[in-house]
Amino acid sequence: MSDFMLRAALAGIGLALLVGPLGSLVVWRRMAYFGDTLAHSALLGIGLGFLLGVEPSLGILATGLAMALLLTGLERRRAMLSRDTILGILAHGSLSLGLIVIAFQERLRVDLVSYLFGDILAVDATDLAWIYGGGIVVLGVLALIWRPILLATLSPELAQVEGVRVRRIQLVLALLMAGVVALAMKLIGILLVTSLLIVPAAAARQLARTPEQMAALAALFAALAAIGGLQASLLWDLPSGPAIVVAALVLFAGASAWRPAAHR
């Protein structure tokens, strides 16, 4: 196995361990469109990062945090708008701002496609260190908020009465998602990163009986999709992001077809 392929596979497995539990939470809490909004805003983060000369990942984290704060702020103000309308405004507003910021910087245009769809050749040792270092932080925080956030998903009022700081935990979850979008950018690309959160978790739902089973199965499916997708990408010279997502889709189709035999 070539060096870059090994790095890409390790990156894929590292990400899979994150998107399993996090993606399950996204499915449970109906946060798919929020994930998309984070992904759209990531382009603004990249543009601002280059403009200010800081790491694009940090730019993505910053715009992701801004999106989370804007969303909760707008919702709390009772702007007479539904959540998906607010998210639509944030997603496309930030995407357009990002494209304009990038349009001002000549040398960035070449790289745009790899940011959108991922590029396994671009994964270097530093990225791997980020994925595993950042991944440990994300998983650690997730472990801390896992039970309270499950309770808050089932009944926010019950959680609050039992002493869970629901708003704060929601914000933490949004931040973790922004972090994973930033980490997944090189391998999957920002356009498809939400699908890596959703599709393996949706496949895992077909077979799981407890939240933890679903999170673990989703991580397994995501890892299989990453390895399968990367192989296909190498064999047929495909962009890595779409190849991984298509591999995840195949797993989802398989789990859905298998479920009626396994359950009820």
Partner 1 sequence: MSAPLLSLDRVTIRYGAEPAVNGVDLAIAPGEIVTLIGPNGSGKTSIVRAALGLLAPDEGAVTTAPGLRIGYVPQDWHVEDTLPITVRRFLTLRGAKSKADLERALEEVGAAHVIDSPLQHLSGGESRRVLLARALLRDPDLLVLDEPMAAVDVTGRAELYRLIRLIRDRRGCGVLLVSHDLHLVMAETDRVLCLNRHVCCSGTPESVLAHPEYLALFGPRLGRELAVYTHHHDHDHDLHGRALEQGGCAPDGQGDGPGDV
Q: Is 148 in the site for partner 1 (CB under 8 A)?
A: yes
Binds partner 1 by CB under 8 A, chosen from 83, 92, 109, 147: 147
Closest CB to partner 1 among 53 and 260? 260
Contacts for 264 with CB less than 8 Å, ≥ 6 apart: none
Write the CA distances from 232 to 58, 225, 236, integer angstroms.
31, 10, 6
Closest C-alpha to 106, from 41, 56, 51: 51
Contacts for 115 with CB less than 8 Å, ≥ 6 apart: 43, 46, 185, 189, 190
CB of 87 to partner 1, least distance (A): 19
DSSP per residue, 70-127: HHHHHHHTT-S--HHHHHHHHHHHHHHHHHHHHHT-GGGGGGHHHHHH--GGG--HHH
CB of 180 to partner 1, least distance (A): 19
Give the binding range for partner 1 (CB under 8 A) out of 38-46, 109-117, 146-154, 231-239. 146-154
Q: Is 164 in the site for partner 1 (CB under 8 A)?
A: yes
Q: Are 188 and 241 in contact (CB under 8 A)?
A: yes
Site for partner 1, residues 178 to 217, rule: CB under 8 A: 205, 208-211, 213-214
Q: Are 232 and 254 in contact (CB under 8 A)?
A: no
Closest CB to partner 1 among 84 and 109? 84
CB of 152 to partner 1, least distance (A): 10
Binds partner 1 by CB under 8 A, chosen from 110, 125, 161, 235: 161
Give the binding range for partner 1 (CB under 8 A) out of 95-103, 125-133, 147-155, 188-196. 147-155
Q: Is 84 in the site for partner 1 (CB under 8 A)?
A: no
Write the CA distances from 193 to 12, 51, 54, 79, 105, integer angstroms.
12, 24, 22, 29, 24
Q: What character string, x for contact with partner 1 (CB under 8 A) and - otherwise, covers 25-64?
A: --xx------------------------------------
Q: Is 150 in the site for partner 1 (CB under 8 A)?
A: yes
Q: Which one-letter DSSP state was computed for residue 189?
A: -
Q: Is 157 in the site for partner 1 (CB under 8 A)?
A: yes
Closest CB to partner 1 among 58 and 151? 151
The token duo for 228 is 């399968």
C-alpha atoms less than 13 angstroms from C-alpha of 229 in its C-beta half-sphere: 32
The token duo for 74 is 């707008």
CB of 155 to partner 1, least distance (A): 5
Q: Which residues bind partner 1 (CB under 8 A)?
A: 27-28, 147-148, 150-151, 153-155, 157-158, 160-162, 164, 205, 208-211, 213-214
